[in-house]
Structure 1
């Protein structure tokens, strides 16, 4: 096919259980809920739904959230946060004001606010990663929100929280200092100097109130921003001694050449490496003894071209509505394969990426979809996230890849295989993408005594259509087992596929085989 040159159809993955990159942070498997479109209303919350609990949250969606295995959740935005008044979402629901959300030209009922969302996140087992408004508000308002959430002292804000039903502090550890302040689309858009100074003032005050909080400075909205690089340097010169992380946002879409799209993780690799180099330079310049982590707190596949060219104008010029349908992308098999490779990139950089949040959780460019009063279901991209989150534990391993090269218009030559692996409790979990659209690949595993115990693939259905999606009516795309010989160190991966391999020590695999034969 156009843009692809197949050199060979065999490959080798070299794995050694003692060659590690860094421990796997559970925060790499974060998610994101923004008051945008149907992410909250008719997404996680729909009091009239048949499965709704006493607080109005959908149990069917909640079951899928638990299955997804996300660990932390960024809230409440996103662009939404840059105009958000958190006080509107506390107190009796019937007294809360309806507000306009200028970011997404929507009406916000505030029916779900701080207490409701925190209760839901706790039930889901999600750590809340709170964002403060540095668009229309500033340090004082951020400090009052922190006081309300995290203190137990006899103050007016704490007394207000207790009157509103939360005697104990929420105890949020991670706080985002605004969102995408480099973007002209952002409410309260600022220059790097303007934002850096405000972020530093806010961080300093927040640390006076709660010295233990972790703070995330807003980095570049994408690697294509004209200010990328200089933005990070300027912001960190203001805030480097005050913050713990700097954000990175990255979205990818299929445009003219699918081979480019399938190589998206190569671009994310470079983006993370570039930010890491900038951060290291500023750390040295400021004489910092700590390392500032990279928070990839928005990442996903998103058809931004369609949104900007087709969907955006009706949204901006149409009537004001409650929770309109916004960017409810339907994901294909190809999208799922790319999402799997982006997860690989995050794991590969576990030594610098401290947090990662797939954007978003339900309906809005999300792994989970739902319909008002109707079904909830898994999109194709649900599976690589859920399986990786469930099995990537312990330490990330260095993976040596010998494979064919594929030629792409934008990224040049990339390897046919994109792979990462983790090691924990005498298990190696391998996550590997076959980027070839046409060719299966026979993979030999060069390990220090490990063999394949099981293998799972996510690829096109039997008809081979890479554009297949899952819908409310049918979900034809789901993982299926790959055939492997007991004790084998080889496996064949289908074309255009995301794959999970579990490896165990050969002696353990042999013992299991003998036990199975005896039982038979």
Structure 2
């Protein structure tokens, strides 16, 4: 049996988790909107067409902020198409996902849905086919109280009070060749700067995220962030990051290790942002918005699974079915976000329903939780508070990470990957300390002894694990609870020491009551 040792001290803090760290993403992509969150006529739908069963699962999942309407979709989106009387809205070809957009769900419907789900809205503006003037027009429509053409138009559409959207994304993945009206870093940096200026002249209380490069393996990565921030540093609060964990080689140890690359990605972007600040002799710190992240690989491999012929409405595309090993890799990504709470202040799981999502539905039928639902629910419910530094001594393994770039597939060694990946959150309001622990050993139990210093006597609140003997097991409509959390037995507490045995290939949550809080 392998053993790991951890030291945690209440006085050594990484940072406080921002409420926006626990966000998600709704894009007009496949069945995420139509047949996902919105399905008039569904047995559970309310008078607005919002699926009640999906809303119930969203409330259980507990995301805090939702990014909308894209994604690739936003780079060709005319926001005016999605407001006003539904019967007068135009149908458009969506070039992002080769489908037909009916525009029966738009900005105001999304705002109503956010209120129903009790989440904050995050809106993205189109800086692909449109530009700064359209961005400020959308902001005026949403946020200005009244007395102007656009604010009065919103009121005429039935929304008397302003929506008060505070977080805005300046476009999406603008360095990607797949993007409508892709731009160079200089082109995008100039447009983002001008959009930010116009938007903040109307509402100086908003916060803005500039696009980072589309992923860490893009040829533009690094130089893009540096150039973009050189242009818009004084006008934005965030730079965005996107990443999707994948298992291209069907190599589970390497797949579970790939979450650690997320740590490197975050730290590299922080270094670039701080270098821009240093050149300006500025004390300002750009924060990170990790506004697309998830596990996604099966439906990325097949072009025929990414779009459907004939320009259909809401086709079933990108409907990744997640298994137990996906939940473990996903949990590792959750830990990476928590352990960088000092600079990652916003993050969005992509996406929320059906398309690469924790919630699946059948059109006209039931909704159910995928395996990745549970680590996110744990992180959002129990990850609020101060993230503490951890000193981890764990057995390690060596593996290879596969990095697909274009038509080739590169690989490089990942030495000394610890079997134990861990995050610890201290919630002062609740008087709890939560240990999130991932055992990446596929065959052996890992005994973990943690010294939790500075909290006085500890007692066990609750403990559960996510584990299944078959790493390829999935939840389905017929077997929706094949993978679900179970009680974690045998947690031993002696003074300030916690000893627990983690099952092979398992995600674990241990909640402690801390009297010293």
TM-score, normalisation: structure 1: 0.93
1:482 — aligned with what?
488
Structure 1 distance, partners of 2:360, 2:210, is 31
Asked if 2 retains the 8 angstrom alpha-carbon contact of 1:241 and 1:288, the reply is: no
Structure 2 distance, partners of 1:352, 1:421, is 17
Structure 1 distance, partners of 2:242, 2:83, is 30
1:135 — aligned with what?
128
The structural deviation recorded for 1:379 is 0.3
1:493 — aligned with what?
502
SS in 2 for 1:396: strand
Residue range with higher mean Cα deviation, 35-44 or 250-259: 250-259
List per-residue Cα deviations over 1:41-83 (Å, max 9, x = no partner). Answer: 0000111100000000100000000000000000000000000
Which structure carries more strand by proportion?
Answer: 2
Structure 1 distance, partners of 2:375, 2:211, is 27
424, 432, 441: which one aligns with 1:421? 424
Structure 1 distance, partners of 2:282, 2:362, is 50
2:195 — aligned with what?
202
154, 158, 161: which one aligns with 2:154? 161
1:431 — aligned with what?
436
**Contiguous gaps of at least 5 residues in structure 1:** 1-7, 509-520
The structural deviation recorded for 1:309 is 3.3
List per-residue Cα deviations over 1:159-201 (Å, max 9, x = no partner). Answer: 1000000110000001100000010000010010111111111
Structure 1 distance, partners of 2:58, 2:120, is 13
Structure 2 distance, partners of 1:399, 1:45, is 43
335, 341, 344: which one aligns with 1:353? 344
The structural deviation recorded for 1:506 is 7.5
Asked if 2 retains the 8 angstrom alpha-carbon contact of 1:487 and 1:506, the reply is: no
387, 396, 399: which one aligns with 1:405? 396
Equivalences for residues 73-112 of structure 1 within 5 A: 73-112=66-105
SS in 2 for 1:64: helix
The structural deviation recorded for 1:367 is 0.3
Number of aligned residue pairs: give it: 495
List per-residue Cα deviations over 1:312-360 (Å, max 9, x = no partner). Answer: 57x26x1110000111000011111111110110010011101000000
Asked if 1 retains the 8 angstrom alpha-carbon contact of 2:445 and 2:504, the reply is: yes
Asked if 2 retains the 8 angstrom alpha-carbon contact of 1:336 and 1:380, the reply is: yes
Distance change >3 Å, CA 287–CA 312, structure 1 → 2: farther
**Contiguous gaps of at least 5 residues in structure 2:** 402-413
Structure 2 distance, partners of 1:339, 1:50, is 32
SS in 1 for 2:270: helix
248, 257, 260: which one aligns with 1:263? 257
SS in 2 for 1:498: strand
Asked if 2 retains the 8 angstrom alpha-carbon contact of 1:455 and 1:484, the reply is: no
Structure 2 distance, partners of 1:64, 1:106, is 27
Query: In the alignment, does 2:33 pair up with 1:30?
Result: no
1:362 — aligned with what?
353
SS in 1 for 2:216: coil
List per-residue Cα deviations over 1:104-123 (Å, max 9, x = no partner). Answer: 00101111111111001111
SS in 1 for 2:225: helix
Asked if 1 retains the 8 angstrom alpha-carbon contact of 2:361 and 2:368, the reply is: yes
Asked if 1 retains the 8 angstrom alpha-carbon contact of 2:17 and 2:345, the reply is: no
Asked if 2 retains the 8 angstrom alpha-carbon contact of 1:454 and 1:484, the reply is: no
Structure 1 distance, partners of 2:300, 2:83, is 33
Distance change >3 Å, CA 53–CA 115, structure 1 → 2: same
Which structure carries more helix by proportion?
Answer: 1
SS in 2 for 1:243: coil
SS in 1 for 2:435: strand
Distance change >3 Å, CA 273–CA 486, structure 1 → 2: closer
